Structure formats: structure tokens, C-alpha cells
A and B are shown apart, each in its own frame.
Chain A
């Protein structure tokens, strides 16, 4: 199951850069900025970024795949939610269509769907989504043995030494998140959004949906709310962040804190040599909900870093500064101190 790079000039040791394509325009932007691979989803509940205005219809995916392949890039289609009993058809159709259109892999989470893909569309590679929460070699090897998965996107619960150890015990390629939004809970095993808004990440591909967000004045400041619950409070003039459920401030034992996670985003740009050393195949950038300018900037920075790593060069400080400006960042679970 070795991967054949479409771009013959690409060294085989290169870390594969897997970039978000929330829209056809973002797909072209990512490819132009140096993405080795882009990932996207259909415009429905079959993928975990089922947001208004995002994603692809069948014709758009066909054009996107053609554009990417013409430029030496691969296209992965995320079909990574869990169909509820009695409603499998939209997910089966998504797998059939991704295969027929010629996408390079389907990113799947549901056991029944992985089995369906193997049995009905054996020619499309099967990647295991982070939503499947396969955090151990034993779990990953189960999916490889039973369903022939080629790659797993690792849950953001493991440290880099743990990932290195894991890679010693599986032949399945591993893909890790290196930049963007960060789930603090084990992905695919979180019903918090569903509990508060009725919209389930697992079932409908939506977390903390905009339809349930409100900003309310509170004295001279502003409260950000989700489903009627105050997620955070901002002083006058302070920029009000989006009320992602697990990134707010809450009170426990009368003490207020960012109890689950600070409103930070993941950035492993300066840790890429360690990531490579851990034996991973691919680096994933989160952000299908992001605009073209963001995608352009992040993809370009990471491509530069991957190329520098290939040449054995240090990453220049300017590239790092350009990407990290302003935001608050973390290495997340990849460093033990986070736990």
C-alpha cells in the first residue's frame, strides 16, 4: 500500500502536506500555495464541517479533482460523520460518488462505512478519520486488518513520543494535525455540542453552530453565548471570540477559568523536525471553514517549512513570525505538559 507521489520531483521522504479546501476557490488556492494534498467534503451532513456556504457539490468536486491532479496534488474526501440507523443512503452515495469522480481517498470514521467502502469501492484508498478516535496501534491495526485502511489521522490526545512509539507498532501511515483549531476532547467521542444545541458533530457534522450563537451586551462588555449559555465574557473594546463550547470560561468551586481549553490554536511549525522524527507520513492543517487568504498564508508557510526540512535547512525566523503573529498558540497534547 505504498503511496505513489503524483509529482515525480517530490522526494519520497517529504512530509505530505494535507490542506483544507472548504470551497472550490480554497482548493485552487491551497494547490497553488503548494499543498501536496487537499481535503474537502460534500455539501451535506456526511462530513464533519457541515457549515453553511462550505463544501462541494458533485460537479465542483469533479472540477476540483481535475484541477488538483493537473497540478500534481491529491484530493481526499471527508465522509467522516456517523449515519444514524435507517439513513445510510446519503453516506453510501457520497462514497460511491467520491470513488467515481476519482478522488484519491475517502476519509471515513464509521465502521459500517469503512466496510461498505472496502466492499463496494475497493479502488479508492480508505483513510481513517480522526473522528474514529483510533488512538492505539491495536485499534489502528484492527481497521487495517479488517478493512484495509492505508492511513489514520491520529486523535489529538497523544504526545510526540507516544506517536513515535505507535508508529513502531503499525504499518498504517499516520497523519497528524499541525495547525489550526484544536479539539480538547477525544474527537468523535464528544456530544457536548449535541447536548447544548441539538446539533451533533458525530451525526450532522456541526459543532457549536453559528445558528445557536448570540452576542449580548452585559454592562459595558459583551457576552458570547451558545444555545443560551454564556460561554465567555469580554470587556469593552476587547475582541469577542467565537463561543466554541469547550473554549469558554466557566466556574468550578467558585473559581473561574478556561476550564477545558484556552481559546488557542495549534501550531507545530517550529516542531516539524520532531514530528518527522516521530515517523508520521502526513501533516494536516485544520480550517475548511477558513477564507482563501488564511489558507494561502498557512499552506505557503508550511510548504516552505517542509521543503526546508527536506534540504536539511533551518526554518527562517521570518516565516515563523509571519504565521504566528497575533494569535495565541499551543503545541497541545503533543507536549506532555498540556495533559
Chain B
């Protein structure tokens, strides 16, 4: 079996606050039509969004599993209160599910059980990976700012399966403060869920009108859209086991199909790059982190 035949496609957790209707439609289509191996559900950004989604998870999980997908449930990236911690404890109590931890406390709750480590945890090296493996973690989606060189070392270390974020606006920071609330001049405690107004996040500009970053509630994201399509052949050689597509308000079925073609060696990465350049809010592709340069850059492979 070649490396290409074993690499999988993962649809990461939806980072934005979509309406339930939109979310249901999206995942119904993913279940029936998207050529992805794994689908990650769960809220990673803001605990205030969770109560609206949680009742729908069992139905979605069932539907996705019937569609042949492995389902993972992800968890909060920044836990600030004992209420949030208790919610996390209740969530991971379900022994039948496989979880993604984005905070060390949740990783610790999952100790002794197979689970995965999300890209918001600081896993930069083999020493840390080995410690997390000892606690039961068996898959890691590495941080978005990790260089290709370091990805190669981790993928080659054989400590656990390595996944790389290859498509979407990159989660760059998380805060206790909510920027959507600040922009809309509403208190965070009574935010009216204004983050739900922007399906791909709210792009912000510099004073001279240059697009700069994207705001998504308490999360700050890249303005550019990460696209590592051209780096996939190299990552397959390194032994990267899966590639993560992050949900956006675009045709995910089509994008997944193209990534699959690149993994299988039947599609030209440039076709996908041409198609996604400017697709989301006019934002360009970027891949700079892979080359240990500015994350917002797109560098053509040599």
C-alpha cells in the first residue's frame, strides 16, 4: 500500500456560528455527498454557542455515521469557568465517542482513552507529543504555524498519526474578550450572538483599507485562506496521515473532491488553488507558515 492510499481527509469543526438550519443542511450534504473520511463536530470557540447545537449532535452523528464517516467530537479551546469545565466533563463522559482536546484539562479528562489533539494545543515537538501519547492521544492536528520541516520530523517520529490543516481561514488567537461584541457595541454577557452575522468571519481592515485579519467572536483568524494543496505530495512522502479541511460557506463537496484527487495523484493542485483564490470574501490563498515565513504569504513551490 502506498502512502497516498492511506492518507485521509478530515472535515474540521465548524469554527463559525451558523444558524441551526444552515448547519443542518450543510452536514446533511456532507453526510450524503462529501468524500471525507472523518467529520469533526463540536464547538471549539465559544461556550455560549453550544446549547443551540448540542441537541442536534446525536442526530448529526447518526446521519454522518450512516454516510460512512468517522465522527469526532471536538471541545472548547479556552475554558474560563467551572461551568464550562463541568460542561466539558459531561460531554467527554460519553464512552462511545472519540474526542478532540483543545485544552490540556480536556486532554487530561480523556487520559487512558484514545483521543486526538486539536490544532489549538501547543504541540510543537516530539517531547510534548510523546507525553500526550502516554495519556492516550493517538492523533494530532498540528498548530497552523508549524513549519513543513517540523511537520516532517513529527510525522516521521511515529509517535502518533499527524494531521495537517490544509484549507480555510486559520485560527490564530483566542481571547477572553469577544471582538464581535466589541464591534457591535454589545456586552459579551448579552452579546445577541452577533458573531452569527458573518458566515466566514468578519474581515477587518487597516486604516488605509487593506484587509488584515478576520474576527470570529473570541477568536482571531487569518484574513487569507490557508491552502496547502501544492504541499500535499511532499507531506504524503513525510508520512502525514490526514489532511484537514476547515468548513466555510463554500461548496465543501467540490473542495473535498479536489483534495481527494490531489491525494490520489489524479488532480493538479494548481487547479484547486486557482479556484479557491478569492473565493472567500475575495481573500487570497496562503501557505507561508509551511515555509517558516509570514503565514499570510503565498509562496510558489520551487
Partner of A134 from the list B104, B154, B176, B222 (CB cut-off 8 Å) is B104
- Cβ contact within 8 Å between A85 and B173: no
Q: Does A249 reach chain B (CB closer than 8 Å)?
A: yes
Closest to B205 in A: A251
Partner of B125 from the list A85, A138, A162, A190 (CB cut-off 8 Å) is A85
Question: Which of B80, B175, B292 has the largest count of A CB atoms less than 10 A from its CB?
Answer: B175
Partner of B127 from the list A109, A116, A146 (CB cut-off 8 Å) is A116
Q: Contacts A251-B209, A260-B220: A111 and B127 contacting too (C-beta < 8 A)?
A: yes
Question: Which of B126, B144, B209, B213 has the largest count of A CB atoms less than 10 A from its CB?
Answer: B213
- Cβ contact within 8 Å between A135 and B131: no
Partner of A113 from the list B127, B202, B288, B289 (CB cut-off 8 Å) is B127
A133 surroundings in chain B (CB, below 8 A): 78, 122
Q: Within the assembled complex, what's the spacing in Å between the Cα atoms of A164 and B128? A: 30
Q: Does B45 reach chain A (CB closer than 8 Å)?
A: no
Count of interface residues, chain B, beta-carbon cutoff 8 Å: 68
Q: Within the assembled complex, what's the spacing in Å between the Cα atoms of A157 and B124? A: 23
Q: Within the assembled complex, what's the spacing in Å between the Cα atoms of A113 and B124? A: 11
B188 surroundings in chain A (CB, below 8 A): 339
Q: Within the assembled complex, what's the spacing in Å between the Cα atoms of A132 and B128? A: 12
- Of the listed stretches A69-77, A181-189, A280-288, A294-302, chain B binds A181-189
- Cβ contact within 8 Å between B105 and A136: yes
Partner of B177 from the list A200, A253, A256, A338 (CB cut-off 8 Å) is A338
Partner of A115 from the list B127, B144, B213 (CB cut-off 8 Å) is B127
Question: Which of A82, A134, A186 has the largest count of B CB atoms less than 10 A from its CB?
Answer: A186
Closest to B104 in A: A139
Q: Does A122 reach chain B (CB closer than 8 Å)?
A: no
B128 surroundings in chain A (CB, below 8 A): 82, 110-112
- Cβ contact within 8 Å between A250 and B207: yes
Q: Does B85 reach chain A (CB closer than 8 Å)?
A: yes
Q: What 0/1 readout, one digit per residue, does chain A (84-112) give for beta carbons within 8 Å of chain B? A: 11111000000000000000000001111
- Cβ contact within 8 Å between A259 and B179: yes
Q: Within the assembled complex, what's the spacing in Å between the Cα atoms of A76 and B291? A: 34
- Cβ contact within 8 Å between A250 and B204: yes
Q: Does A233 reach chain B (CB closer than 8 Å)?
A: yes
| Contact residues of B between 157 and 204, Cβ < 8 Å to A | 157, 170, 172-179, 182-183, 188-189, 202, 204
Q: Within the assembled complex, what's the spacing in Å between the Cα atoms of A115 and B129? A: 11
Instruction: Please give the residue numbers on chain A whose beta carbons come within 8 Å of chain B beta carbons, in ascending order.
Output: 82-88, 109-113, 115-116, 132-136, 138-139, 142-143, 146, 157-158, 162, 165, 184-186, 188-192, 194-198, 200, 202-203, 223, 227, 229-233, 248-253, 255-257, 259-261, 333, 338-339
Q: 5 new A-B pairs (CB below 8 Å) besides A85-B124, A194-B145, A198-B292?
A: A111-B127, A112-B129, A188-B122, A259-B204, A260-B175
> Can you identify 26 A-B contacts, CB atoms within 8 angstroms?
A84-B124, A84-B146, A85-B124, A86-B149, A88-B127, A109-B122, A111-B132, A135-B80, A136-B85, A142-B104, A191-B170, A194-B172, A194-B294, A196-B296, A198-B293, A203-B124, A223-B207, A232-B207, A250-B204, A250-B212, A251-B207, A252-B215, A260-B175, A260-B177, A260-B179, A339-B176
Instruction: Please give the residue numbers on chain B whose beta carbons come within 8 Å of chain A beta carbons, in ascending order.
Output: 77-82, 85, 103-105, 107-109, 120, 122, 124-132, 143-147, 149-151, 153-154, 157, 170, 172-179, 182-183, 188-189, 202, 204-210, 212-213, 215, 220, 222, 288-289, 292-296
